[in-house]
Amino acid sequence: MKLKKLMTATAATVSIALSAAVSAAETIKVGVLHSLSGTMAISETTLKDTVLMMIDEQNKKGGLLGKQLEAVVVDPASNWPLFAEKTRELLTKDKVDVIFGCWTSVSRKSVLPVIEELNGLLFYPVQYEGEESSKNVFYTGAAPNQQAIPAVDYLMEEIGVERWVLAGTDYVYPRTTNKILEAYLKAKGVDEKDIMINYTPFGHSDWQGIVSDIKKFGNEGKQTAVVSTVNGDANVPFYKELGNQGISAEDIPVVAFSVGEEELSGLDTAPLVGHLAAWNYFQSVEADVNEEFIEQWKKFAGKDRVTNDPMEATYIGFNMWTAAVEKAGTTDVDTVEQAMIGITSPNLTGGTAVMNKNHHLSKPVLIGEIQEDGQFEVVWETDGVVPGDAWSDYLPGSKDIVADWVEPIKCGNFNAKTAKCSGQNF
């Protein structure tokens, strides 16, 4: 009798395990790798919610390849090494088929060796500094030539800016972007004494001295502007201090690359009216597809929630991934990676985004002016879409490098002069 009970219990355990395995096989797992706590939660929580909304909508359509999508959400907590650990867990323990995640470049750089080692697939939805192209990453945010360079051109040509404050958070994205911008400004004839560069740590809160220095720098008879790569919740005290010291957009305009509608929703925007941001999307853009997306978002997340550029990049990336999986008939990473190249998706500004063979999108560039209601009025935009450039034309070590993931090159770091691939990424 004891043996019979033991055999019955064992059979039940095996049955449960098999049932769990079958259940897992019946879903396609989607990893969601965004900070839900710490300094970057102010920006990244919304992207987690965006992925969940997209998964919900896809499942309502019948899923993908006859299977439902299952979200696996983790919180790397604005801790850069933890991003790598969570990525390894998602790929080895949770067996996800794709990951949507990261905001800062330092988090992406932390994830990169793991995603390449384990041959995972990451969709990265935020503007970044370029100088990278991985087989395992699709970059749906802006490269410098789709945000930073056009923003500087706008300030120079439309506002007549002659002095430049490059203010950023102290990590790879601001430092590399500012290195590109400094080289670009000098190539445009700007003197080194007319360029001020400043970095602050994540979560920096005491801006009184820095804003005072900016004010002094701008009071020397030349039109001055701040190009801001300040990231995360440090933006709140930064903009408050600008208001405290009476710096208006007419005096010293600020163009931001990391401040959108979500960040402004926590600020008193009255003193910020007229300051600028450069993105590829704003909630205020008039397009039928955008109106539908906003309605869908508010229904899912709440009527007070706003949309922003990295949400659009997530939307485009998710739609492209599902289309590529359907095209390939599998979630196999190598097959989907090749299926992604050349794929198109509607963007939210009424046009079409294209995934190029360097794993970067073609998309429009817009300059928006902050309004009292926390929205942006578009004051300038490109005539059409701009292809993302993985490697900058303004850095000596990069201008001869191209990324091309199609045969016969199939390399993210191909030197056009020597016709050699220097490595997968950098």
Q: State whether residue 24 is helix, strand or coil.
A: helix
pLDDT of residue 162: 97
Question: What does the pLDDT look like over 219-241, one tens digit per residue?
Answer: 999 999 999 999 888 888 999 89
Shared domain check, 378 and 241: yes
Q: How confident is the model at residue 9 (pLDDT cuts 50, 70, 90)?
A: low
**Taking 60 as the threshold, does the pLDDT of residue 5 lie above it?**
no
CATH assignment of the domain containing 243: 3.40.50.2300
Say yes or no: 210 and 315 in one domain.
Answer: no
Please state, for a pLDDT cut of 70, what percent of the chain lies above it. 93
DSSP run (H or E) holding 355 = strand 352-355
Cα separation, 339 vs 333, in Å, equals 10
**Contact call for residues 103 and 34 (beta carbons, < 8 A):** yes
Task: Please check whether residues 224 and 321 belong to one and the same domain.
Answer: no
| pLDDT (0 to 100) of residue 16 | 44
Residue 167: give the domain boundaries: 145-286+367-387
Same domain, 56 and 93: yes
Residues 136 and 150 both lie in one domain: no
Residues 348, 215 share a domain: no
Distance, CA of 195 to chain centre: 27
Do 31 and 100 meet the contact criterion of CB atoms below 8 Å apart? yes
SS3 400: coil
The answer to whether residue 413 sits within a structural domain is no
Q: Within a domain: residue 330?
A: yes
In a domain, 318, yes or no: yes
Per-residue confidence band for 8, with pLDDT thresholds at 50, 70 and 90: low
- Mean pLDDT of the 34-56 span: 96
With 0-12 / 13-18 / 19 or more C-beta atoms within 10 angstroms meaning exposed / middle / buried, residue 235 is buried
408 belongs to a structural domain: no
Query: Structurally, how many domains does the chain consist of?
Result: 2
Residues 242 and 274 in one domain: yes
Q: Of all residues in the chain, what percent carry a pLDDT higher than 90? A: 86
Same domain, 190 and 332: no
What does the mean pLDDT of the chain come to? 92
Sheet holding 386-387, edge to edge: 344-346, 352-355, 361-363, 386-387
Q: How far is CA 358 from the centre of its chain?
A: 16
- 150 and 138 belong to one structural domain: no
327 and 293 inside one domain: yes
Mean pLDDT value of segment 77-97: 98
Chain center to CA of 246: 32
pLDDT in tens, 111-164: 999 999 999 999 999 999 999 999 999 999 999 999 999 999 999 999 999 999
Q: Is the pLDDT of residue 344 over 70?
A: yes
Q: Is residue 132 part of a domain?
A: yes
Asked if 404 and 414 touch (Cβ cutoff 8 Å), the reply is: yes
For 358-381, what is the mean pLDDT? Answer: 96
**Quick count: other Cβ atoms within 10 Å of Cβ 400?**
13
Q: Are residues 131 and 167 part of one domain?
A: no
Residues 40 and 114 occupy one common structural domain: yes
- pLDDT band at 14, cuts 50/70/90? very low
Average pLDDT estimate for 171-194: 96
pLDDT at 268: 82
In a domain, 393, yes or no: no
Give the per-residue pLDDT at 17.
42
Report the SS3 class of residue 219: coil
